[in-house]
Chain A
């Protein structure tokens, strides 16, 4: 069972199915986030439906590009024998 589950995520032939499942999951989460009861919870952003989705996506994009920019342009990434 575990082997089949892991294979589902590994094998190329399930690529389309995986993508569709992801889309369905994202739609479900967005729908749930729109419908969930929102009491006052302290964070101002808790009142905004869909906040998590936007913030998560934007954070991830920002992290990838900012880090790679710092790494390449800031002289952080070096050849493996730099210290030898």
Chain B
């Protein structure tokens, strides 16, 4: 492994070169660099390099093991697909941001020490925020600032946790943390990871901001931030019991909110929350099979979620609408998009022969195998909900349903190609799971294609379809938004502004009035009094002392005649007085 092949370095170098190019040259570069990264990942073997001692801290810029490599593989594949999907765009800024975003994600998964990880973490936050701001409308800019607010806060928690951890243990190397020894550091770092994993109630940054990103930007967003967080959780918090409950709650939380959602990409964003729930739960269970499940589900998820966001993005770009209430009937003119989207939908729903079937079931089986029947059953409920929304509700109201009268054409060829590659992976992984299993951190002893597993899964999914058909009228999207935990800071900010404009302003006015009116008069009076005191008392005292000294000086001056005989007389008289007085006193005493 030579250092120049560090994928993060390649991406950052590419980001620097992009602004120097234009037109087709830039487009070619935007595809060439991710392909080079993919090649460099294929050449990586477990090991460490790039060790630097910095300010007394040992930095390990590059540390690869099987866990970091499985994430690097899928990040590299998704970088190629995402940039192909964005081939037609003209914005240099977005390309640079996407490169920096992917590059910093590589930085995190290959970071051997906490400080390198922190740098990657922070760059990710800012690079990804650009993809939201790039929509250039007021809603997106506001959502982008809220997104940054949350991630900067998370970064501060991570920084604080890292410093505490480093000072307590003297080690700056990443690795499993111990709740018993870690104390505050353990929890600070965990909270910052949970923010990026979008664990409720810290999830709202995702569902608030992703739907506001650009069509191409959202594809990158859906891939990197939450999955990097899953990676650091697997690396540092395997078997942390709290994650099981959080993960299961998250899987259901996303499903409930998806029922209520009208914005097509926000619905998909809620299913990121739901799917990452399976991974978080897998990390919490912590057995080899569960960790394998979390890693493999992250791998599969990046590809099918990317595909779903690409499909929804194609609709938004071509139809110019994003609300389900305003879409419908697009199947007539966008059949390829329908089919490609549905492949992603079958994959996320874990249909046999699609990628989710071989990855999600590992987590559920690990839960059952670890005597966590409740967790396994609740995760199965969430599976039904996943198919209900992503596989049925969204495509039904977007592509079929009532005719909106819109007749948009298929998206450009590059977008269809990118979706096609992602779809090929969704099916490829489902049909040949051993290819994915061979990459996983632990040896895999799991067979997804058993008779019971197939018939049971089909039963769950197809009877979900039956319920959907029977209850269709209850599912009609409503023209509303759903309040999530971002309410706290969105309404909180409004409350702060009201306080600032109300009580705070009044208080300021009181201070100003006091200062200008009564306060100023009081100050004048006080200074006049102190002037009087100064003139009458202090100055008089000083003058008195000075006058006395002057008078004394005058008397002394008269005594000083300048004649030596006078001084001699006084000296002798003095001596007599000094010597004579005791003598006289002594005689008297006798």
Which residues of A line the B interface, CB within 8 A?
A: 2-3, 5-7, 9-10, 19, 22, 25-26, 29-30, 32-33, 36-39, 41-46, 50-57, 59-68, 70-71, 75-80, 82-83
| 324-373 of chain B: CB within 8 A of chain A | 329, 331-332, 335-336, 338-339, 365, 368-369, 373
Partner of A60, one of B336, B338, B388, B456: B388
Partner of A54, one of B365, B451, B463: B463
Looking at the assembled complex, report how far the CB atom of B364 sits from the nearest CB atom of chain A, in whole angstroms: 9
Which 3 pairs of residues, A with B, have the shortest CB-CB distance? A52-B459, A56-B460, A67-B259
Which residues of chain B are near A3, meaning CB under 8 Å?
A: 335
Report whether over half of chain A's contact residues are helix, strand or loop; otherwise say mixed. Answer: helix
Looking at the assembled complex, report how far the CB atom of B264 sits from the nearest CB atom of chain A, in whole angstroms: 15
A-B contact pairs, 20 of them (CB 8 A): A19-B469, A22-B462, A26-B466, A29-B458, A37-B452, A42-B368, A50-B459, A52-B456, A52-B463, A56-B463, A57-B466, A59-B380, A60-B388, A68-B474, A71-B260, A75-B483, A76-B482, A76-B483, A77-B482, A83-B481
How many pairs of A and B residues are in contact by the CB < 8 Å rule? 164
B331 engages A9 (CB within 8 Å): yes
Residue of A nearest to B493 (CB): A83
Residue of A nearest to B255 (CB): A63
- Taking A60-B468, A78-B481 as known contacts, 18 extra A-B pairs with beta carbons closer than 8 A to each other, sorted by chain A number, are A2-B336, A10-B331, A26-B463, A33-B459, A52-B457, A52-B460, A56-B384, A56-B461, A56-B462, A63-B259, A65-B474, A67-B260, A68-B474, A71-B260, A77-B260, A77-B478, A77-B480, A80-B481
| 484-506 of chain B: CB within 8 A of chain A | 490-491
A5 engages B339 (CB within 8 Å): yes
Looking at the assembled complex, report how far the CB atom of A81 sits from the nearest CB atom of chain B, in whole angstroms: 9
A42 engages B365 (CB within 8 Å): yes
Looking at the assembled complex, report how far the CB atom of A3 sits from the nearest CB atom of chain B, in whole angstroms: 5
Q: With A and B bound together, what is the CA distance between A6 and B216 in angstroms?
A: 26
Q: With A and B bound together, what is the CA distance between A83 and B490 in angstroms?
A: 8
Looking at the assembled complex, report how far the CB atom of B457 sits from the nearest CB atom of chain A, in whole angstroms: 7
B373 engages A43 (CB within 8 Å): yes
Partner of B467, one of A32, A41, A60: A60
A43 engages B388 (CB within 8 Å): no
Which residues of chain B are near A60, meaning CB under 8 Å?
A: 384-385, 388, 463-464, 467-468, 471
Cβ of B455 < 8 Å from any Cβ of A? yes
